[in-house]
Structure 1
Amino acid sequence: MNEKNVVFASGFVALVGRPNAGKSTLLNACVGEKLAITSPVAQTTRRRMRAVVNTDHSQLVIIDTPGLHKPKDALGSELNRSALGELAGADVVALLVDATKPVGTGDAWVARHVAASSAPYKLLVLTKADVAGPEQVAAQLAAVRDLVELNDELVVSAREGFNVDAFVELVSAHLPEGPRWFPEGMDVDATPEDLVAEFVREKLFCNLRQELPHSVGVLCDGLEYADDGHASIEVTVLVEREGQKAIVVGHGGQMIKRVGVQARRDIERLLGCKVYLDLKVRVAPQWRRDEREIRRLGYSSED
């Protein structure tokens, strides 16, 4: 085909699924760099993130959504609204299912929403194939087929890079003709402040695991560049009780210091300069039930 006759395709690809299904890991693999945070803790993703993948003849806007779950507070309800809201305008919906965990009622609930969406192309993506055997993969595919009828299916391992390019190619082939929604060189719609807060929250989750992660919120209060080229950043970590603050700070300040050292590496890679990072911990009782606080932290479905 003559190059001049090649149609340029573009569109929005929503990644949806249960918590820890591998949505953020797949997004990072598609982009080729770390933008979305990941951790072993369920419901790590709170902000909807749009990352841009450009090919010669297409532009994919991949949307990482919070894991769909049974909400226990206003924060959980907002995260579900945010995730489900992305189904409405998506050109492609990718239902991500963990190959290592039995398909259950939660997956069935998500599958029903995917089936009801107006997206013209719906794809099952079975993730974490690197840690699942062939029989387990086959059983998972069969279980999902019993729940919902989709247009296609693909088995991937984002960590190993298995079938990541195939995912991009498959989705690109099913996007409508359209413009570049984002300029070349722009790979994410989040601000540097948003990403800073996310990187700090990731390190809190990874270090604290199940102790109190869902009681933790993070806000970047300021980011300024100095004349010598380094960046000065102020970040507030929110918890709900004084006892939680003590855990985050750690004995002699060791925990918050460790989090700062780890987060600084990602932030310096992001900004391309040395960073001075000032972390403060503040108690905000019941912040997860406060819609104003949820909105201020950027976790609202309206953001």
Structure 2
Amino acid sequence: MTDDTAYDGYRAGFAVLVGRPNAGKSTLTNALVGRKVAITSAKPQTTRHTIRGIVHRDDAQLILVDTPGLHRPRTLLGQRLNDLVADTLGEVDAIGFCIPANEKIGPGDKYIAQQLGALHRKPVVALVTKTDLVQRGALTEQLMAVDALGVEALGPGGWTDIVPVSAADGYQVETVADVLIRQMPPSPPLYPGGHLTDEPELVLVAELVREAALEGVRDELPHSLAVVVEEIVPREGRGEDNQLLDVRVNLFVERSSQKAIIIGRGGARLREVGTAARRGIEALLGSRIYLDLHVKIAKDWQRDPKQLVRLGF
């Protein structure tokens, strides 16, 4: 039996989305899967865990691995995030390199392209994201620049493909899936039908709280905020038709000034965080919840190996 006829033509495998921080990787993952499995934010460095989103088709299964943005690390946390990306790149079947359409190619993009060029023979698809934010002429110029970057970093032939896409309005999202699936090997399904992610619920709940906490805050905070779910337990004494889950969550920051930002005047901001996060968590868990949030200080945790381990990094 040849590869072309193996598994009746079914294909399944892993694709990783890489790019500099805030290049649209998480938003594209969610659009491809059709449900939120990765948090999004206008702030860079919001993705901390490798999130797998699963795209199911009749003839294929595409497992998307979302990663932190590759960047030149300045802290121990930053180096660990980069190591996570490097480990992931070596294990996938194809790579989607996200480059925003609305920002000129910069040193960060070139740094990542060079890293990808060192992988040799790994399929790399350039995904020009956020096309809804630019006019057609500007998009054409960006596509030409991306093409030139591919030849520079990977040699003659450049990228396996170049796909402009907008997760915001759905433009060519299905095309991205088509292109990546073509790079997957013949294989039986790797996950049961209906599964959209293999991330534990505790991790997804923590990410939803973190996303809510990052909305509208100062630029310094995303790097300094860690969220840990202590427990999710059913409220005792409730009937079957009146279930309630108690969800207890700790938010860790590095300084008292950051704690004040999260809590807000009279606790107003923390209540807003709770309200925003509760909607997503209830949809995820399929139950009403009581969300108990506590903000704590873990001084300089990004540079402390012991605290990094305790916070899940």
Fold shared by both chains (TM-score > 0.5): yes
Match in the other structure for 2:279: 265
1:218–1:236 contact (8 Å) kept in structure 2: yes
Letter of the structure 1 residue corresponding to residue 187 of structure 2: G
2:6–2:186 contact (8 Å) kept in structure 1: no
Match in the other structure for 1:285: 299
Q: How does 1:69-218 map to 2 (within 5 A)?
A: 69-118=71-120, 120-148=122-150, 149-218=158-227
Number of aligned residues: 297
Equivalent residue for 2:9, pick from 7, 10, 17: 7
Q: How does 1:243-262 map to 2 (within 5 A)?
A: 243-262=257-276
Matched, 1:224 2:233: yes
Distance 2:28 2:280 in 1: 18
Q: Shift in Å at residue 146 of structure 1? A: 2.1
Distance 1:131 1:243 in 2: 35
Q: Shift in Å at residue 179 of structure 1? A: 2.2
Q: Shift in Å at residue 16 of structure 1? A: 0.4
Output one character per residue of 1:70-124: Cα deviation in whole Å (capped at 9) or x when no partner: 2111111111111122110111111110000110111011011112225642100
Q: Shift in Å at residue 293 of structure 1? A: 2.3
1:88–1:118 contact (8 Å) kept in structure 2: no
Distance 2:127 2:168 in 1: 14
Match in the other structure for 1:53: 55
Output one character per residue of 1:110-167: Cα deviation in whole Å (capped at 9) or x when no partner: 0111122256421000000011111211221222222221111100001101101111
TM-score when normalising by structure 2: 0.91
Distance change (3 Å), C-alpha of 1:38 and 1:124 = same
Q: Shift in Å at residue 277 of structure 1? A: 0.4
Secondary structure of the residue that 2:216 maps to in structure 1?
Answer: helix
Distance 1:118 1:272 in 2: 45
Distance 1:96 1:243 in 2: 34
Match in the other structure for 1:20: 22
2:244–2:289 contact (8 Å) kept in structure 1: yes
Q: Shift in Å at residue 211 of structure 1? A: 4.9
Output one character per residue of 1:9-68: Cα deviation in whole Å (capped at 9) or x when no partner: 111001000111100000000110111110100111111111111100111010001011
Equivalent residue for 1:30, pick from 29, 32, 36: 32
Distance 2:261 2:24 in 1: 28
Secondary structure of the residue that 2:48 maps to in structure 1?
Answer: coil
2:245–2:289 contact (8 Å) kept in structure 1: yes
Distance 1:199 1:33 in 2: 13
Distance change (3 Å), C-alpha of 1:4 and 1:16 = closer
Secondary structure of the residue that 1:176 maps to in structure 2?
Answer: coil
Q: Shift in Å at residue 241 of structure 1? A: 1.3
Letter of the structure 2 residue corresponding to residue 169 of structure 1: D
1:19–1:67 contact (8 Å) kept in structure 2: yes
2:33–2:53 contact (8 Å) kept in structure 1: yes
Identity %: 39
Distance 1:206 1:5 in 2: 46
Secondary structure of the residue that 1:167 maps to in structure 2?
Answer: helix
Distance 2:249 2:121 in 1: 39
2:228–2:250 contact (8 Å) kept in structure 1: yes
Distance 2:104 2:304 in 1: 34
Distance 1:129 1:141 in 2: 11
Distance 1:49 1:4 in 2: 29
Distance change (3 Å), C-alpha of 1:5 and 1:283 = closer
Output one character per residue of 1:249-282: Cα deviation in whole Å (capped at 9) or x when no partner: 1111111111001000100111111010000011
TM-score when normalising by structure 1: 0.94
